[in-house]
Amino acid sequence: MENILAQAKRAAEEAEVFMVSAEETPVQFETNRLKHIQSKQSTSAALRIVRQGRLGYASTTEPNDIQNLVDNAVATAQFGMPPRFELPSPVSYPQIEVFDPDIESISIEKMIELGEELIAMVTSHTPDIVCEAVVTKGTISFQIINSRGGQANYRKSIFGLGIEGSLIRGTDMLFVGESQSSCHPLTQPKTVAEAVIQQLELAKNRASAPTKQLPVIFTPWGVASALIPSLMVAFNGKTVLEGASPIGNRLGQQVFDPKLWLWDDPTIAYRPNSRPCDDEGIPSQRTPLIEQGAVANFLYDLQTAALAHTKSTGNGSRGGGLPAPSPSALIIAPGKTTLDEMVNDIKEGLIIEQLMGAEQGNILGGDFSGNVLLGYKVESGKIVGRVKDTMVSGNVYQVLKQITAIGSEARWVGGFVHTPHIYCPSLSVASK
Amino acid sequence: MTNIEAIGHQLAEAVKGYSADYIEARLEESQRSHITYLGRELESVGQATAVGGNVRALVRGGWGFVSFDSLSDLPSRIELAVKQARLVGKEESKLAPVEPIVDIVSAEIDKNPLTMPLAEKKQLLDEYNALIWRTPKLQTSIIAYGDSHKKVIFLSSLGSYIEQERSDVILRLTAIAAEGSEVQQVGLSLGSRGDFSSIQGLHQQVEQMAKHAVELLSAPQVKGGEYTVVLDPVLAGVFVHEAFGHLSEADFVYENDRLRQIMVLGKKFGSSKLNIVDSAAIPGLRGSYKYDDEGVPATKTYLIKEGELVGRLHSRETAAKMKEKPTGNARAINYRYPPIVRMTNTYIEPGSASFEEIIGDIKEGVYAKNWFGGTTSMEMFTFSAGEAYMIRHGKLAEALRPVVLTGNVFTTLNNIDAIGNDLEMNQGGGCGKGGQAPLPVSNGSPHIRIRNCLVGGR
């Protein structure tokens, strides 16, 4: 790595090397039984340079082929954007625990056992369900060095436990699923199985939805599938800088319901999306995004922050090219209302667990529209069954402007969102 | 860059010496470049190279798979794959028989876009961006250009040794218009097998796209409900991919008795006018190849013929377990993944209706155009249009906000009651499945009309 930096410095004014090495072992189950064990090793090095005042970028899986990497970066630098930022000098990083050595002591046999237990719990509840499951463990190491002496490195462990079940009766299909992840080994499949069993219970009966405006409760998974995609784009500093965020010029203003609090937090110990620094070596911080319904901040990497005349929030993230702003983990603060209280409050309404296709609309404008893949009908304060062939449409900014209640219990969904239930007074529902 | 041919020849010998029912390996070297614009400025330009490989082993029906960037100590990788497969395997290995193939497929039909100077690519993108920015009220734009060239060596314990090269070009343009807190966007996606000229000369389309984004600011949103919907060839291609293509992938079906009953050959899905095909054997499209990633020759597969289910897409394992012929549809996005059953070039065959005939007798309906996205859960699917218009009394009327359409595969295909004569293949899409995305595919269709289609709206 030092050699790459040294050689790059001979061709460029500034240089930064970012290296990731990972080992991952997914154990996969299909049709309720063990099917596939994989082992994946990967190494990649990315080089960012400033040459004659312009940014160049190249990456490789062969870090020893230094000349090729440097040449590729130099070739792109004749067209690159001028950097508006300085690479970070040496800084101290917060102590954030993201590596648990216990991961390494979990054997493949133990992972097989966990997957089998998980499937057995679900199939003993519903014998004719067909499950796919995956138990994954992995370790990733990150290293950054730059020509200003900045350097960072850390190691992360990841463990995941997930299951998806399909229940087919005639041409009627029901899909249920749950997944959990942590930097610790997850050795209690029961909590995952229980979530799936609860879905199966609620979906036992069928109910029909009318075509009209109805109150809707989004479960944590529902919040993640319907509402989060728009918020992620809107709070991205790059969207704001381009003037394409509907809330970009409303910093400090009340845009959402005063009950709503949202922040980005990469500092929570042993969470897979936590880290001591971002992919540019900027120390991690907790960044408030919505405080009491008011827009508090946007998320920035170095370049976007410089162009916007502000500071990086430590959200520089690499997805195969130059760093760009991206949330680490989005947290919505829990409220005061239990799920039972929300349900009791509804005369006729829906609970949305999975909205399929919600991210395909105009998410920049906050519009979402999707098929209720998993959702339930509420009648006179009771959950009466599953709804199908139903579309729910709305706009995130309208929905979150007036929230009836926020749930008192929050949970992790999809590894990077921690949210309670959100209860909204009225959404457009269309059904066959 | 490491010479993968030399390693390939060593590996071809090595895979024969293990006690497994079957072993295969892939080695891959690739180069990619990308140029992106955000707003008026070129934002990012970069080049990447990758070299790596994998070994997959089958023992008593269980699979082990090992992928790696480091090409040293390959015997230990093979051993690990075999050991993993042995941990899994408890039954009998079943793979449809194929002849061992030794072949070198050079990228003759492909042009390598990586050899073209970055400056020439930038020149074209600059022209498009200038056109976008001539549009008043435009807020911002995104242009994402990417190209790649790769060489893949496939070898197996059966004695197959296949070298294939392919190139890929993709261009996505998005124009974003804003006014107050209203934000609207319109996109355009194009692609080809490495031929840069396929993305040249689109100036008029690009200008139209930017204008449409601005028009949408004042467009109404459709009222949610059931409509007669007419899809243009691009969107109908996405529809056939989502609504039916995924359901015909045999890996969803082969070990699931209930699904096998639903997807029994001969089952009626649509009217006798409906024919759906998947074919990697058509040369020159983004989903085309000579051999799949299990070394099986590509075929043309009818999925639906005259409304009836007549075929499905297979890997060697799904074909053997369903006692059907392999179709050469096992694909991996790159060497970090095992091959799984995927679509290639999927399309509805053309019928005889003209566009005027299709919309002529619609009193109130929706004309949905252009691809935005799509997804499926097998039974249910959604797909979204980049553009939409009301149809009133047989004529196109006012522009609408983009719409999301949804349906149930077991009823919606039956509701297709008109098929146009104007088949077009769309090369701008990518498909995701099992964490492998975006896989180059193409979709196509003529204009089609669907009765009673559920449209989301206010």
pLDDT of residue A362: 82
Q: Measure A12 CA to nearest chain B CA, in Å.
A: 16
Select the CATH number that applies to the domain covering B4-216 from these four: 3.30.2290.10, 2.60.120.310, 3.40.50.2300, 2.40.50.100.
3.30.2290.10
Average pLDDT over residues A277-306: 98
For B25-74, write each residue's pLDDT tens digit.
999 999 999 999 999 999 999 999 999 999 999 999 999 999 999 999 99
Integer Cα distance of B409 and B268 in angstroms? 12
Distance CA B12, CA B23 (A): 10
Q: In the prediction, which pLDDT does A187 show?
A: 96
DSSP 3-state of A332: strand
pLDDT band at B108 (very low <50, low <70, confident <90, very high): low
DSSP states of B25-51: EEEEEEEEEEEEEETTEEEEEEEEEEE
User: Looking at the complex, does the CB of residue B116 fall below 8 Å from at least one CB of chain A?
Assistant: no
Looking at the predicted structure, is the pLDDT value of residue A360 above 80? no
Q: What is the pLDDT of residue A170?
A: 84
How many angstroms separate the CA of residue B374 from the nearest CA in chain A? Answer: 7
| C-alpha gyration radius of chain B | 23
A171 pLDDT above the threshold of 90:
no
Asked if residue A217 lies in contact with residue A352, where contact means CB atoms within 8 angstroms, the answer is yes
Considering just the CA atoms, what is the radius of gyration of chain A in Å? 24
A-B contacts (CB, under 8 Å): 254
Query: Stretch A56-84: mean pLDDT, rounded?
Result: 96
User: Which B residues in the span 276-305 are in contact with A, Cβ-Cβ below 8 Å?
Assistant: none
% of chain B residues with pLDDT over 90: 82
Count of other CB atoms within 10 angstroms of residue B13: 9
Residue B383 clears pLDDT 90, i.e. is over it: no
**pLDDT class for B85, splitting at 50, 70, 90?**
very high
Kindly report the backbone phi and psi dihedral angles of residue B443, in degrees, each rounded to the nearest multiple of 5, phi listed first. Answer: -130, 155
> What pLDDT is recorded for position B183?
87
User: pLDDT digit string (tens) for B221-232?
Assistant: 899 999 999 999
Average of per-residue pLDDT across B319-331: 97
Q: What is the residue whose two structure tokens read 């490989």?
A: B53
pLDDT band at B109 (very low <50, low <70, confident <90, very high): low
Answer yes or no: do B45 and A80 touch at CB < 8 A.
yes
d(CA A19, CA A5): 12
**Does a cis peptide bond (omega within 30 degrees of 0) precede residue B438?**
yes
Q: So where are chain A's domains?
A: 2-200, 205-432
- Name B381's bridge partners: B376, B407
Examine the pLDDT at B371 and tell me if it is beyond 90.
no
Q: Which residues of A touch B238 (CB under 8 A)?
A: none
Preferred mutation among A67, A362, A364 to probe B, highest tally of B CBs within 10 A? A362
CATH topology of domain A2-200: PmbA/TldD fold (3.30.2290)
Averaged pLDDT for residues A58-83: 96
Q: Which of A39, A130, A391 lies at the smallest CB-CB distance from B84?
A: A39
Q: Which residues of B186-197 are buried (b: 16+ CB within 10 A; e: fewer)?
A: bbbbbbbbbbbe
Chain B residue with Cα closest to A355: B382
The answer to whether residue A147 scores a pLDDT higher than 80 is yes
Mean pLDDT of chain B: 94
Res. A215: pLDDT tops 60: yes
Q: Which of A94-98, A114-118, B107-111, B411-415 has the lowest mean pLDDT?
A: B107-111
> What is the pLDDT confidence band of residue B110, given thresholds at 50, 70 and 90?
low
Confidence of residue A412 (pLDDT cuts 50, 70, 90): very high
Say what the pLDDT of residue B402 is.
86
User: For A352-371, what is the mean pLDDT?
Assistant: 88
What pLDDT is attached to residue B181? 77
Where in chain B are all domains bearing CATH 3.30.2290.10? Answer: 4-216
